Chains A and B, each alone.
Chain A
Amino acid sequence: METAPHNVVSAGTLQTFARDASFNLPPLPTETWLPRGLGSSYGDVCLNPSGKLVSSLSLNNFLAFDHETGVLQVEAGVTLGEIQRVFAPQGWMLAVTPGTQFVTIGGAIGNDVHGKNHHARGTFGDNTLSITLVRSNGEVLNCSRSQNAELFSATIGGLGLTGFITSATIQLQSVAGAYLDTENLVFQDSGEFLSLSDDSEPDWQYIVSWIDCTSKHGRGIFMRGNNSAESKVPQTKVGGPTVPFKPPVSLINKASVFAFNQAYFNLNRAKAGTTVTHYQPFFYPLDSVQRWNLAYGPKGFFQYQMVIPREGGREALDEILTQIRKSGQGSFLAVLKTFGSDAGPGLLSFARPGITLALDFTNRGEVSEALFKRLDSVVLEAGGTLNPSKDARMSRQMFEVGFPNFAEFEKHRDPLISSSMSRRLMGW
């Protein structure tokens, strides 16, 4: 994705927000707005170049915490990293976290993000107890499974289109400390990956795999972990390298991807086994390289994340890997995992039973799109779909097939909210 200037306004404070819910729009608004958190989404779900973005980052307060139950009430601009940092030493962590901590609570709910423990804890929305939603007509609505329940399920995974989440109440999980007992295993093909997944799901809370998409059979590293009883916290390294500027061309090319995948596989094969790991490198491996996305150069990159049902999934997965290898457009970060049986709490939730694979591709214009089209047809054929939170290019038809509750969702949209994505996929 290339960048475009945006008009960003602040949400102010909880007290002033509802009073100002018209965001200084003209009396007969011709301009739309869109809630905005940290903008970490890869695609156009967080963009609205023709209108306003209303930033939640000023809403960064913790509101209340119950030390007995682990129920936390927070404003929507609080980041997941902040929650982990503040609560891990107190014996609590997020029940579900995605692969980056640079995400706000509002963004995590609006995209109904998932983590490495989908089979155990479902999605972020499954661990969200209630939200406060401000609509552009000034209404302030408390939404939960028992109050405004339909709007609640529309807003979880609702891509920011149902209103502005100002605060939320979430369930944290009790932990002994900030550490995980982890084990890395090598697999040689997708069949081995699937049987490792099936064997591990009952006993391991966190499961994720890296797959070498330049390899012939789809070899990779299978990583599994459980919250550790280890609670002693030795000094950990904070911060890491930063990509200092945007290079004129992408540093991610065929040669560097091949070399990286070879090296990564062999390095991890050599250190396969069990270890105690701090949550930061285990949950958030890429966060240690600040602004890593700039390495893709001025044209940026696409992420392609699909989910395909388990039935026939292995064949489809192999076909996808073959297509990618043949195209020569590999990816550093190919992440493979299986989702559990949770069908998703939101009307537009992406995570659903099946196999999910996520890959980053340098934006090569038509060459990239041609590959994506081939992958789309394999995914559709297999009865799968793509993750809208990471998408910038799927067709409207593909979206409608993958999200059959869309008509129900549309009833709950906020008429003044619009994003580049909603205009592309929903027609408004």
Chain B
Amino acid sequence: MKILIIGATSGIAKECARIWAARSTSASPNSLVLVARNAESLATTSADLRVRNKTAEVLTYASSLTETEEISRLESQLRAGGPYDVVLIAQGELSQQSEAQSSVSALHQSLTINATSVAVFAELGARLLEPQGKGTLAIFGSVAGDRTRRSNYSYGAAKAFLASYVNGMRHRFAGTKVNVVIIKPGPTATPMTTALATSGRLAPASAVAADIVEGIAKGKRQIYTPGIWAIIMLVVRLIPGFIFNKLDF
């Protein structure tokens, strides 16, 4: 299998890469193409995967993920390295809602990385998969996008935009063997959420990643992980607004 991961050093994506690397064998090696912003973290992740399984092939590209010219150059490099079985788009950062409300640059940056950059790379992934006629394009949304709330709606709304974007892409690829997947993790223990880590209610990133890898293999279109969040968010979405707006969470 050849797997392209954008935002590959993010906590959950890295755990997914570890699972795919672990499944590599010399008879059928897995090839991982990793793209991320920080070159140092990318080198660390790449070394980690190679130690875990020497049969796994790892190729890395450092990229800002937001500069348009750089993305175009990257696209031609990635196209030359294809075809891909899976394209996973994972970049994101958990911005502070209070900063998003008070700072033009904080909100702008948050929406750029969490919404614009992901959509741009989703289209890039679609352009890679379309001529192949098959493959999985998986995009990280979040349960936070299912119903936005006061404590993190700048992040949640970006994720809601992605869910909507994916709906359109799925319509576009209907009837083909290109599967477009939206991944909706619940709160997960990753570097992004260390500040929340004391609550102890965060799912381990390795377990979330295992759900994602399995969901992709099974051809799911929507992956809630841990699975209980499908039920929780169904309930949350059904709460009438006049009640919802009185809740504090």
A10 to chain B: closest residue by CB: B194
A55 touches B197 (CB 8 A): yes
A65 at interface, CB cutoff 8 A? yes
A63 touches B198 (CB 8 A): no
Residue contacts A-B, CB under 8 angstroms, 28 given: A7-B198, A8-B194, A8-B197, A8-B198, A9-B194, A10-B191, A10-B194, A14-B44, A15-B40, A15-B41, A15-B44, A55-B194, A57-B189, A58-B191, A58-B194, A61-B44, A61-B45, A61-B47, A62-B52, A63-B48, A63-B51, A64-B47, A64-B51, A65-B51, A67-B54, A72-B51, A86-B22, A86-B52
A29 at interface, CB cutoff 8 A? no
C-alpha spacing A58/B189, complex, angstroms: 10
Contact (A12, B48) CB under 8 Å given A6-B198, A86-B22: no
Contact of B48 among A55, A61, A67 (CB under 8 A): A61
Closest chain-B Cβ to A11's Cβ sits at a distance in Å of 9
A174 at interface, CB cutoff 8 A? no
Closest chain-B Cβ to A391's Cβ sits at a distance in Å of 25
C-alpha spacing A55/B190, complex, angstroms: 12
C-alpha spacing A36/B203, complex, angstroms: 19
A13 at interface, CB cutoff 8 A? yes
B22 to chain A: closest residue by CB: A86
Interface string of B54-72 (1 = CB under 8 A from A): 1000000000000000000
A63 to chain B: closest residue by CB: B47
Contact (A62, B48) CB under 8 Å given A5-B198, A9-B194: yes
- Give the top 10 A-B pairs by smallest Cβ distance, nearest first: A10-B194, A62-B51, A61-B48, A65-B51, A15-B40, A62-B48, A61-B44, A58-B191, A86-B52, A8-B198
B45 / chain A contacts, CB cutoff of 8 Å: 61
C-alpha spacing A57/B11, complex, angstroms: 12
Closest chain-B Cβ to A140's Cβ sits at a distance in Å of 15
Closest chain-B Cβ to A378's Cβ sits at a distance in Å of 39
Closest chain-A Cβ to B172's Cβ sits at a distance in Å of 38
A53 to chain B: closest residue by CB: B198
Closest chain-B Cβ to A74's Cβ sits at a distance in Å of 8
A13 touches B41 (CB 8 A): yes
Closest chain-A Cβ to B36's Cβ sits at a distance in Å of 12
Interface string of B15-35 (1 = CB under 8 A from A): 000000010000000000000
B49 to chain A: closest residue by CB: A62
A12 / chain B contacts, CB cutoff of 8 Å: 191
Closest chain-A Cβ to B107's Cβ sits at a distance in Å of 24
Closest chain-B Cβ to A12's Cβ sits at a distance in Å of 7
A57 to chain B: closest residue by CB: B189
Closest chain-B Cβ to A383's Cβ sits at a distance in Å of 42
C-alpha spacing A169/B45, complex, angstroms: 18
C-alpha spacing A55/B48, complex, angstroms: 20
C-alpha spacing A14/B51, complex, angstroms: 17
B198 / chain A contacts, CB cutoff of 8 Å: 5-8
- Most chain A CB atoms below 10 A, which of B22, B40, B51, B194: B51
B47 / chain A contacts, CB cutoff of 8 Å: 61-64
Chain A positions 30-56 with a Cβ under 8 Å from a chain B Cβ: 55
Interface string of B160-200 (1 = CB under 8 A from A): 00000000000000000000000000000101001001100
